[in-house]
Chains A and B, each alone.
Chain A
């Protein structure tokens, strides 16, 4: 399974970036092979608007099945849901911590956005 974690750095030891749309990096962890790849998100980090929507597209393109992040707004959530991607919010600590918490069942997918949108 491919899990995408919003992160402030490019390693498994990096802290979770609590913002989904404007996360610094997305770390794609393949739990079957225990490998990971860091994708930078600079384009959306600097977007004037719609960062969450485009980040959701990015995650979909990478082939993520689950997103683990701190906060996810309504437009990003809608886009991720349309892409069939599960969303886990409220994660803290490092990327490795979040993966472990998800595997152990301490972190479970949400069925709604947990923050307000920035527009409308």
Chain B
């Protein structure tokens, strides 16, 4: 079972919810950091890492002996990663999405592929939590292939808490797709609401059941809970704006350790999510 922790707006508390939820879950559980541009779950879980593998995408290499300079490769490239001038082909690997279209299109069979490293997938343990994270290479611009590589190592027979990147663009889709449930973390501000609506539209499009966690629930206004009520979106948990939580966060500590009375909140969140994923539960279940 994969539970993705996502949000429209950044900085709402995805990682706080994800690491603390993983920590209170009983039995085998994996925390997967798919926010590969800036993975930070490791700051709180402090895992012992025991393996890593580099991840790359296939980028074109042109055999200048065979190349006839027709420019077909540059024409088919939707990402403008190839230019053909004066019958010479230039490849810009950093723009390539690794689709292989140029290899397919080349009439002279002059294009082969080599691996262009975009990042690394690291795995380890933090107490009973299996840990995996993707870390995008500095300067690499494209994260979805690395996010998919993180997901490839997951044991989906167990519980997986997947920490998604913020927003609603390709990296989020790559992370959230295939999850069994999505927790959207938001804050009760106009910005939080605006981006929550985008996230809701995205998750509905993906057809995944979801619910909302409101972090810093006692700041801002009532528009987020009102919106959730109007849209019949289950409210899974409200976390107050609490100085001790912020202090723990700033020190890289787990909320469930530093402020133990919130441990029950995350246990409740776990139960709540499980109830939506248990088949015998009522069919009205979570919001689709």
Which residues on the A side are within 8 Å of B86 (C-beta)? 60, 82-84
Which residues on the B side are within 8 Å of A83 (C-beta)? 85-86, 88
Which residues on the A side are within 8 Å of B94 (C-beta)? 119-120
A53-B80 contact given A60-B85, A120-B94, CB 8 Å threshold: yes
Given the complex of chains A and B, what is the CA–CA distance between A75 and B79 in angstroms?
Answer: 14
Are B80 and A56 in touch, CB under 8 angstroms?
Answer: no
Are B141 and A119 in touch, CB under 8 angstroms?
Answer: yes
Given the complex of chains A and B, what is the CA–CA distance between A78 and B93 in angstroms?
Answer: 14
- B53 vs chain A, min Cβ distance (A): 22
Are B83 and A54 in touch, CB under 8 angstroms?
Answer: yes
Give the interface SS of chain A, mostly helix, strand, loop or mixed.
Answer: helix
Given the complex of chains A and B, what is the CA–CA distance between A79 and B81 in angstroms?
Answer: 11
Interface 0/1 of A57-101, CB less than 8 Å to B: 100100000000000000100110011100000000000000000
Let me know if A47 is at the binding interface, CB within 8 A.
yes
Are B83 and A53 in touch, CB under 8 angstroms?
Answer: yes
Given the complex of chains A and B, what is the CA–CA distance between A83 and B139 in angstroms?
Answer: 27
Interface residue tally of chain A, by bracket? 10 to 19
Are A79 and B90 in touch, CB under 8 angstroms?
Answer: yes
Given the complex of chains A and B, what is the CA–CA distance between A88 and B113 in angstroms?
Answer: 35
Let me know if A49 is at the binding interface, CB within 8 A.
yes
A31-50, CB < 8 A from B: 47-50
Most B CB within 10 A of own CB, among A51, A53, A54, A84: A53
Which residues on the A side are within 8 Å of B120 (C-beta)? none
- 8 Å CB contact of A56 from B79, B81, B83, B139: B83
Which residues on the B side are within 8 Å of A57 (C-beta)? 74, 83-85
Let me know if B206 is at the binding interface, CB within 8 A.
no
Are B85 and A82 in touch, CB under 8 angstroms?
Answer: yes
Given the complex of chains A and B, what is the CA–CA distance between A109 and B139 in angstroms?
Answer: 30
A50-B85 contact given A57-B74, A119-B141, A120-B141, CB 8 Å threshold: no
Are A56 and B85 in touch, CB under 8 angstroms?
Answer: yes
Which residues on the A side are within 8 Å of B227 (C-beta)? none
Shortest Cβ distance from A47 into B: residue: B80
Given the complex of chains A and B, what is the CA–CA distance between A56 and B94 in angstroms?
Answer: 18
Which residues on the A side are within 8 Å of B139 (C-beta)? 120
Most B CB within 10 A of own CB, among A50, A75, A82, A119: A50
Residues of B at the A interface (CB closer than 8 Å) are 74, 79-81, 83-86, 88, 90, 92, 94-95, 139-141
| Complex A-B, nearest 8 residue pairs according to Cβ-Cβ distance, in ascending order | A50-B80, A83-B85, A120-B94, A60-B85, A79-B83, A53-B83, A120-B139, A119-B141
A-B contact pairs, 15 of them (CB 8 A): A47-B80, A50-B80, A50-B92, A53-B81, A53-B83, A53-B92, A54-B83, A57-B74, A57-B83, A60-B85, A79-B90, A82-B90, A119-B141, A120-B94, A120-B139
